[in-house]
């Protein structure tokens, strides 16, 4: 039986980043971690926060997609305009005098 690497079975942002680099081993070399560590992260679908910015820079996968719990949702950009998220509007209203 032929098994595919987990990054080919997932549509997560982390899996996308691994695919863009080429393999779990190549991804591990990029961030100086073992392939087995990368596999554990893929299984848990969780990238430690300290690697997010380097991975975003190396792969183009947005930090917002890699760790929305840390960086918030991906900004909604249409026609070059950044739309303000509902959370930002609420935060602005709550901070108003």
The pLDDT assigned to 74 comes to 82
Strand partners, 81: 78
Q: Which tens digit of pLDDT belongs to each residue from 19-65?
A: 999 999 999 999 999 999 999 999 998 899 999 999 999 999 999 99
Tokens of 79: 């026609």
Yes or no: say if 18 and 42 are a contact pair by the CB < 8 Å rule. yes
All domains in the chain, ordered by first residue: 6-72 (1.10.260.40)
The CA-based angle 59-61-67, given to 5 degrees, is 125
Query: Exposure of 23 by Cβ count < 10 A (0-12 exposed, 13-18 middle, 19+ buried)?
Result: middle
Q: Kindly report whether the global pTM for this prediction surpasses the value 0.75.
A: no
pLDDT value at residue 95: 74
């Amino acid at each position: 039986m032929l098994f595919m690497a987990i990054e080919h079975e997932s549509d997560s942002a982390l899996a996308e980043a691994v695919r863009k680099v080429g393999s779990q081993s190549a991804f591990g070399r990029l961030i100086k971690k073992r392939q087995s560590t990368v596999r554990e992260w893929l299984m848990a679908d969780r990238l430690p926060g300290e690697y997010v910015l380097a991975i975003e820079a190396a792969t183009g996968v947005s930090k917002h997609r890699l760790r929305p719990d840390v960086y918030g949702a991906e900004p909604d950009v249409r026609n070059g305009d950044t739309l303000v998220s509902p959370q930002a509007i609420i935060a602005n209203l709550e901070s108003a005098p």
